[in-house]
C-alpha cells in the first residue's frame, strides 16, 4: 500500500496503471475509519483492479459552526485498517493540495441537495460535490464507491455525475451497523454510553416504520413520520431534525407511500447529530 499526498504523484502513478488497461476504484473518506468505510473499500476491490482510498477532512463541507477543528483525525489507525484490506493507494492530501491559493471554483449542487441535510447545512453539499468531483477527476477512477448511510449525499453525487456527463460509475454500498443496529459513523465516538443506548432507538424507529409500510395496504407519509417520531421519543431522542418518507431519486416527500421509498431521519442525541435511513425497494 502506497501513501501519497501530492496530486501530481497520484495522477502520474494512476496514468501508468490505466495504460495497462486495468480499472481503478476510488473510495473517498474523511478518515476516522470504521467497518462501514472498509466495506466500501471491499466493494471497490471486488469491482476494480486497483483501489485508491482518499483521506481528506474537507473544510469546504463544514459550516463555521460545525466540528471541523475537532473532527476525529486518526491517520495512523486508518492506515493500519486499510493495510489489512485490498487497498493499493492511500491519498492523503494537505488542504492546499486540494484548494491551492486562489482556488475559487465550486460545483453548484443539484436540486436534490436543497432539502433535508441541505436545509440544516446550507453550504454542505456545495463542498461535498466540489471535493468529490475533484477527487474523481484527479484519480480518473472507473468506479467511485459511496455509502448508503449518507443517502442524500449519494443521491446528490449520482445526480451531479449524470448532469455533468461524468464517466465514472457511482456505486452505493449498504449501511454497516453495530450489533444493536446503530449505523456506523465516525461521529458515533462522540456519544457517551447513555447516549449510545438512546441512539440505537433510531434504527428501531426505522424498522417499525418499515414493518408498517410493508404490512399496511395504504399508509400515508404523515403516518410513517408519526411512527418514527413516536419511537424516537420512546428512546428519549427529543431533538428530531427530520423524519420523512421520500422518493429515492427526487427526495420529495411521499404523501401516499409507494415503493420504492426511503425513510430519512436526522436527530440529535446529546450534542451529536446522527443520520440514518431505510431504503424499501419495490420488491420488499
Select from 52, 112, 131, 219 the one that contacts ligand PAF (CB under 6 A).
Answer: 131
Instruction: Out of 4, 7, 24, 30, point to the residue binding ligand PAF (CB under 6 A).
Output: 30
Q: Provide the H-helix boundaries in 20-115.
A: 35-47, 75-83, 95-98
Q: Whole-angstrom Cα distance, residue 137 to residue 14? A: 12
115 touches 29 (CB < 8 A)? no
Nearest alpha carbon to residue 278 among 218, 226, 228: 228
- How many residues touch ligand PAF under the rule CB under 6 A: the total is 10
Q: Which three cell numbers stand for residue 182?
A: 446503530
113 lies in the site for ligand PAF, by CB under 6 A: no
* CB of 98 vs ligand PAF, minimal distance in Å: 10
Least distance in angstroms from the C-beta of 8 to ligand PAF: 21
Q: Which of 28, 93, 109, 110 binds ligand PAF (CB under 6 A)?
A: 28
Touching ligand PAF, residues 34-63 (CB under 6 A): 58, 61
Q: How far is CA 245 from each of CA 107, 248, 279, 283, rounded to the nearest angstrom?
A: 28, 9, 10, 17
What would the grid cell of residue 85 be?
Answer: 484490506
Interaction mask 137-176, ligand PAF, x per CB under 6 A: -------------x--x-----------------------
Shortest separation between residue 131's beta carbon and ligand PAF, angstroms: 5
166 has catalytic annotation: no
Residue 14 or 53 having the CB closest to ligand PAF: 53
One of 34, 37, 124, 166 is an active-site residue; which one? 37
Give the list of residues 6+ apart from residue 279 with CB closer than 8 angstroms, or none: 148, 151, 248, 260, 262
Under the binding rule (CB under 6 A), the answer on residue 128 touching ligand PAF is: yes
Q: Rounded to the nearest whole angstrom, what is the least distance from the CB of residue 153 to ligand PAF in the complex?
A: 6
Instruction: Tell me the three state secondary structure of residue 270.
Output: coil
Min dist. Cβ of residue 28 to ligand PAF (A): 4
Is the Cβ–Cβ distance between 252 and 221 less than 8 Å?
Answer: no
d(CA 10, CA 7): 5
Question: Which residues have a catalytic role annotated?
Answer: 37
Residues binding ligand PAF (CB under 6 A): 28-30, 58, 61, 128, 131-132, 150, 153
Amino acid at each position: 500500500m502506497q501513501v501519497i499526498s501530492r496530486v501530481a504523484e497520484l495522477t502520474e502513478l494512476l496514468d501508468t496503471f490505466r495504460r495497462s488497461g486495468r480499472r481503478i476504484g476510488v473510495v473517498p473518506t474523511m478518515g476516522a475509519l470504521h467497518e462501514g468505510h472498509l466495506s466500501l473499500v471491499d466493494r471497490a476491490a471486488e469491482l476494480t483492479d486497483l483501489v485508491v482510498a482518499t483521506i481528506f477532512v474537507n473544510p469546504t463541507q463544514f459550516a463555521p459552526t460545525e466540528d471541523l477543528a475537532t473532527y476525529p483525525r486518526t491517520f495512523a489507525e486508518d492506515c493500519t485498517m486499510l493495510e489489512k484490506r485490498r487497498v493499493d493507494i492511500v491519498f492523503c492530501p494537505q488542504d492546499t493540495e486540494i484548494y491551492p491559493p486562489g482556488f475559487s471554483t465550486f460545483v453548484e449542487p443539484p436540486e436534490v441537495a436543497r432539502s433535508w441535510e441541505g436545509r440544516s447545512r446550507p453550504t454542505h453539499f456545495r463542498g461535498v460535490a466540489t471535493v468529490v468531483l475533484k477527487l474523481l477527476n484527479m484519480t480518473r477512477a472507473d468506479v467511485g464507491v459511496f455509502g448508503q448511510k449518507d443517502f442524500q449525499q449519494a443521491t446528490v453525487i449520482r445526480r451531479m455525475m449524470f448532469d455533468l456527463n461524468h464517466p465514472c460509475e457511482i456505486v452505493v454500498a449498504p449501511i454497516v451497523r453495530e450489533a444493536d443496529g446503530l449505523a456506523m459513523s465516525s461521529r458515533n465516538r462522540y456519544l457517551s454510553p447513555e447516549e449510545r443506548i438512546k441512539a440505537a432507538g433510531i434504527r428501531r424507529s426505522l424498522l417499525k416504520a418499515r414493518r408498517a409500510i410493508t404490512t399496511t395496504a395504504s399508509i400515508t407519509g404523515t403516518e410513517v413520520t408519526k411512527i418514527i417520531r413516536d419511537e424516537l421519543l420512546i428512546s428519549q431522542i427529543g431533538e428530531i431534525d427530520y423524519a420523512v418518507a421520500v422518493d429515492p431519486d427526487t427526495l420529495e416527500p411521499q404523501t401516499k407511500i409507494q415503493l420504492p421509498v426511503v425513510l430519512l431521519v436526522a436527530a440529535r442525541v446529546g450534542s451529536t447529530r446522527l443520520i440514518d435511513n431505510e431504503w424499501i425497494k419495490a420488491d420488499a
